[in-house]
Structure 1
Amino acid sequence: MDIAHAFLEQRSRHLGNKVQIKVAEPSAHWPHCAAPEAFLPSKNQPDWGRITVGIRCASGSTRYLQAQVAVLGNYWVPRENIPAGTTITEELLRREKGEISALPTGTLLKRKEMLGLESRRPLRAGTPVQQYQLQQRALVKRRQTVTLVAAGRGFNIQREGRALDEGAMGDKVRVRLPDRQIISGRVSGRGQIHVTTGRN
């Protein structure tokens, strides 16, 4: 029905890509519906894919239609096979065009979402990249010598220790000091751990 198509078209405007909408024809026994009003039976329905649209009539009766919303647009894939532990750069990616609504859940569509991250596992050339396949680049490696920094009003203390964990920016890691004491802090830079103190 035209009312369902127009409703989905309005709902899909924010997607910013070319959208194809197909609404299944209602069965032949559908009665006349005066002043039809379209709505979504469930607020949890996705923006694309298979969607159920409700049609409420002036008489109070309700009918349901099935529709398919396909979104066409650009996304980025590896230009070549990428080994695990590689930092993603612009040179490693190429743009593809296709139906992004058919890509797996969690696929990263924008290049900026990948740049600077590190591959958790090998990535195949031409295959869409999913969020779980990338991670923040580690700034501290396990067993690496690191600098502990404890700073506050009127003091700045630095000590060296050995990291017991691997961590990216902001991650909490443990550090063993030369006297065997273990202190936890957060990664604040390459090879640097910030320790919060209670001193003012």
Structure 2
Amino acid sequence: MRRPSLKIALLLALAIGGQNARAAASAADAARHFLEQHNRHLGQRVEVEVIRSGTHWPDCHNPAPFLPANGQSGWGRVTVGVRCDADRRARYLQALVRVFDHYWVVRENVPAGTEITPPLLQKRQGDISALPRGVLRQLQDIVGLVASRPLREGSPLLQHQLSKPPLVARRQSVTLVVSGEGFRIAREGQAMDEGAKGDMVRVKLEDRQIISGEVTGPGEVSVRGNGR
């Protein structure tokens, strides 16, 4: 039997390679569109770069992209799966997802303990997917909080850098409000802990009882039921 000529072998290789490239391109295009639509709610603009792999791709009709259930972030480097009509076997591509939107930075150096007010803030536009985790982007989530550490001019505001202002100080005289169905009792006591709104603190009463309650206002701690 005569062996195929080198020319025929090369033509076959080129044809198969071209078919694989077209299949991979079809899958990549479907993955890109899928990630753009899936993440469009994250910002004003989404850019997706699919990183081609050397995996053999069959003729990929009706590629169906999906996200693996691995809890990965919506942006940054992500893995996206694709199933093709031919065999429905899952194949995977890597992609880089960038999200562009506005965020807030401090317009000057801010000392620790400073309450964040609108004049201290400046709006910026950029790649929010490149920002550190925990960045606060909504004005209502920032204003009124207190810097728990010094903030440098131009830096974004991160959740762990800010805290709620304390409404109750340790050893402060407070009003303890105990309420339930059909009754409400107010007693004076001394706070044993510092707390912001929603925090749980202990209150020592005149008879030395210690009751835990929730900070509900300046100098006010509330308890449902008997609070003991």
Q: TM-score range by the shorter chain?
A: 0.7 to 0.9
Return 5+ residue gaps in structure 1 as ranges: none
**Is contact 2:44-2:101 (8 Å) kept?**
yes
Kindly indicate whether residue 94 of structure 2 is the aligned counterpart of residue 55 of structure 1: no
Using the alignment, how far apart are the partners of 2:200 and 2:39 within structure 1? 41
Q: What is the Cα deviation at residue 160 of structure 1?
A: 2.3
Please list the CA deviations of residues 165-194 of structure 1 after superposition, one character each: whole Å capped at 9, or x if unmatched.
011122221122234332322222111122
Kindly indicate whether residue 127 of structure 2 is the aligned counterpart of residue 95 of structure 1: no
Kindly indicate whether residue 30 of structure 2 is the aligned counterpart of residue 3 of structure 1: yes
Using the alignment, how far apart are the partners of 2:178 and 2:79 within structure 1? 57
Q: What is the Cα deviation at residue 139 of structure 1?
A: 0.5
Q: TM-score scaled by structure 2?
A: 0.78
Kindly indicate whether residue 140 of structure 2 is the aligned counterpart of residue 112 of structure 1: yes
Seen in structure 2, the aligned counterparts of structure 1 residues 41 and 154 have a Cα distance that, compared at 3 Å, is closer
Partner of 1:44: 71
Q: How many residue pairs end up in the alignment?
A: 199
Q: What is the Cα deviation at residue 155 of structure 1?
A: 5.5
Trace 1:108-147 onto structure 2 (pairs within 5 A): 108-147=136-175
Secondary structure at 1:139 match in 2:
strand
Return 5+ residue gaps in structure 2 as ranges: 1-27
Seen in structure 2, the aligned counterparts of structure 1 residues 34 and 183 have a Cα distance that, compared at 3 Å, is closer
The letter of the residue matching 2:133 is T
Partner of 1:80: 108
Pair member with larger Rg: 2
The letter of the residue matching 2:83 is R
**Is contact 2:82-2:91 (8 Å) kept?**
yes
Q: Give the helix-richer structure, 1 or 2.
A: 2
**Is contact 2:78-2:96 (8 Å) kept?**
yes
Q: Percent identity?
A: 54
